[in-house]
Amino acid sequence: MNNIKNIYFPTTLRDFSKIFKKNSSLIAGSTYFFNANKKNNLLNDIIAITELPLKYIKKDKKNIRIGSLVTFDDIENNDICKDTYFGFLSHSASNCSSQLIRNMATIGGNIAHPNAFNIMPLVIETLNGKIKLYDGKKYTIMPLTDYYNKKLSGIITEIILPLAYDRDFFYFEKIAKTSSSWESYITFSFRASVKNKIINDMRLVFGAITSMPLSSINIEKKFTGKEITKELINDISKEYSEFVYNAHPSHKYAEYRKNVVMNTISEFFSKLSKR
Amino acid sequence: MKKMTVGKEKSIDISFNINGNDMTVSVKPSESLIDMIRRLGYKGTKKGCDTGDCGSCALILDGKAVVSCLMPAFYADGKKITTIEGIGSILNPHPIQKAFVDAGAVQCGFCIPGMIISTKFLLDRFPTPDEKTIKHHLDGNLCRCTGYVKQIEAVRLASNRLKNTNRE
């Protein structure tokens, strides 16, 4: 970073658009960028986006809208996040790293720098959320997968989470052999809607397995509309444990993860059947 | 829009308030906040892992406890910093510092400045935290000497003592 010429601190998106270029280096919470780039002498300019007006959590009739500069600590302690989705947002944010990091790390940064251990992409996928991207000229709203697949340039300004799932059943947990055994980690982020023991809708997303959140539309489709019985719990647990295992069969803890998935899914649907 | 331009000496001038004192210093764009703080003589803040994992370098920046090893020094411009030296001193220790000593929570002491910073942030926010909240707020401070039990006791002791004092 010793060849840097200018550091900009835009306070409005209009200012941002004047200085933003396709290959601009953006820094927000500083949990990723600085350590990754301090020895990088190719950077010329940096845009520190910390002063942009993107620190808000709002709720309208259809969605929760979270500004991309909101930190994990903000989400954990925000009343809207605590009261919606039965606290799923707050609980998942509280599982991010440590308090010192939760005070710094922004949800925009968690999305912009994909990593198997990131939490926010899982949460967005579970809730079928969308992200709003500003490229300096126009805004685009898109699903998370589009953002990753198209590798679009711009700044994530907002995360939009539909309230349609507010009364669904949620589960979020990070499980590992021991808390320091990061290699064995697996993150579960589940949502399901059940009425009279019939699965109306479900979204089961797994983290820490692949660099992007892992889910299977095919398995979800196969079991949606079915009644939760002992046989179904058995089948769905088996199917998902194979699915997760096959995503990374050579992994040191593949067998452990397979068993954890089997047990966790079995427990999740057993609880749902008793609702 | 604020713009910092790197000068001929490849440095930028930044101004901030540290422990109540206003200061202007030159920093390199690649200098971390921990390196700058220690260069200025505030050596109570420790440099541990340098990757944001151990919490030894914690300080309070505009009211929030953060790790200073992951942060560029230029981020401090216009901000208010509190380091362990700003919490209390040997002659006039803060009740949190005294509680850590009295609870026997200090062994080698390397992690303690970070622990105290995290405790200060916690008790400013939740003056009477339960054990779960204490553990949750100290989860970024690693200690290689103890089993964390004494530190949790120290936070409880500090919380009780702070109820009976006006000290911030």
Residue B20's CATH number: 3.10.20.30
Q: With CB atoms and an 8 Å threshold, state whether B64 touches A94.
A: no
Residue B23 has pLDDT above 80, yes or no: yes
Of B67, B86, B105, the residue at which a domain comes to its end is B86
Report the candidate in B38, B114, B32 with the shortest Cα–Cα distance to residue B76: B32
Residue A179 has pLDDT above 80, yes or no: no
User: Using an 8 Å Cβ cutoff, are A118 and A110 in contact?
Assistant: yes
Is B133 part of a structural domain of the chain? Answer: yes
State the pLDDT confidence band at B133, using cuts at 50, 70 and 90.
Answer: very high
Closest partner CB to A7 (pick from B4, B51, B121): B4
Residues B42 and B70 in one domain: yes
State the pLDDT confidence band at A41, using cuts at 50, 70 and 90.
Answer: confident
* Domains: count for chain B: 2
Give the helix ranges, DSSP H, for A116-211: 120-126, 144-150
In DSSP notation, A81-139 reads: HHHSGGGHHHHHHHTSS-HHHHTT-BHHHHHHS--TT-SHHHHHHHTT-EEEEE-SS-E
Residue A256 has pLDDT above 90, yes or no: yes
Residue A146 has pLDDT above 80, yes or no: yes
Question: For A192-196, which contacts have Cβ atoms below 8 Å and span 24 or more sequence positions?
Answer: A192/A168, A192/A268, A192/A272, A193/A165, A193/A167, A193/A168, A193/A169, A194/A169, A194/A228, A194/A272, A194/A273, A194/A275
Is B3 part of a structural domain of the chain? Answer: no
Q: With CB atoms and an 8 Å threshold, state whether B64 touches A9.
A: no
Lowest mean pLDDT across A36-40, A51-55, B30-34: A36-40
User: Using an 8 Å Cβ cutoff, are A269 and A191 in contact?
Assistant: no
Q: With CB atoms and an 8 Å threshold, state whether B140 touches A94.
A: no
pLDDT for residue A33: 87
Closest CA in chain B for residue A41 = B30
Q: What is the pLDDT of residues B57-116, one digit of tens each?
A: 999 999 999 999 999 999 999 999 999 999 999 999 999 999 999 999 999 999 999 999
In DSSP notation, B47-79 reads: --SSSSSS-TTEEEETTEEEETTSSBGGGGTT-
pLDDT for residue A211: 87
pLDDT for residue A218: 97
Q: With CB atoms and an 8 Å threshold, state whether A101 touches B51.
A: no
- Spell out the residues 6+ positions from residue A260 whose beta carbon is closer than 8 angstroms to its own: A175, A186
User: Using an 8 Å Cβ cutoff, are B114 and B120 in contact?
Assistant: no
Percent of chain A with pLDDT over 90: 84
Residue A43 has pLDDT above 80, yes or no: yes
Q: Which residues on chain B are in Cβ contact (under 8 Å) with A100?
A: 52, 55, 58, 65-67, 118, 140-141
Count Cβ–Cβ pairs < 8 Å, chain A vs chain B. Answer: 97
Q: Which residues on chain B are in Cβ contact (under 8 Å) with A101?
A: 52, 67, 140
User: Using an 8 Å Cβ cutoff, are A59 and A84 in contact?
Assistant: yes
Residue A40 has pLDDT above 90, yes or no: no
Residues B95 and B139 in one domain: yes
Q: Sign of torsion, CA B126 B127 B133 B137?
A: positive
Residues B97 and B154 in one domain: yes
pLDDT for residue A201: 97
Our CA-based measurement puts residue B102 at a distance from the nearest CA of chain A, in whole angstroms, of 25
CA distance A26 to A8: 10
Residues B130 and B103 in one domain: yes
Is B55 part of a structural domain of the chain? Answer: yes
Phi, psi of A273 (to 5 degrees): -70, -20
Of B35, B51, B86, the residue at which a domain comes to its end is B86
Please count the CA atoms within 13 angstroms of the CA of A111 that sit on its side-chain side. 36
CA distance B113 to B118: 9
pLDDT for residue A23: 80
Closest partner CB to A35 (pick from B58, B70, B137): B70
Lowest mean pLDDT across A45-59, A76-90, A173-187: A173-187
**CATH number (domain holding residue B145):** 1.10.150.120
Is B7 part of a structural domain of the chain? Answer: no
| pTM score | 0.95
Closest CA in chain A for residue B125 = A77
Is B153 part of a structural domain of the chain? Answer: yes
Q: How many CB atoms lie within 10 A of CB A117?
A: 15
Is B49 part of a structural domain of the chain? Answer: yes
- For the record, the structure tokens of B157 come out as 């002791």
Helix (H, G, I), strand (E, B) or coil at A21: coil
Range of the domain at B32: 12-86
pLDDT for residue A81: 98
Residue A32 has pLDDT above 80, yes or no: yes
Q: Which residues on chain A are in Cβ contact (under 8 Å) with B58?
A: 100
Strand B21-27, strand A169-175: pairing: unpaired
Q: Which residues on chain B are in Cβ contact (under 8 Å) with A55?
A: none
Percent of chain A with pLDDT over 70: 100
Of B86, B112, B130, the residue at which a domain comes to its end is B86
Q: With CB atoms and an 8 Å threshold, state whether A6 touches B2.
A: no
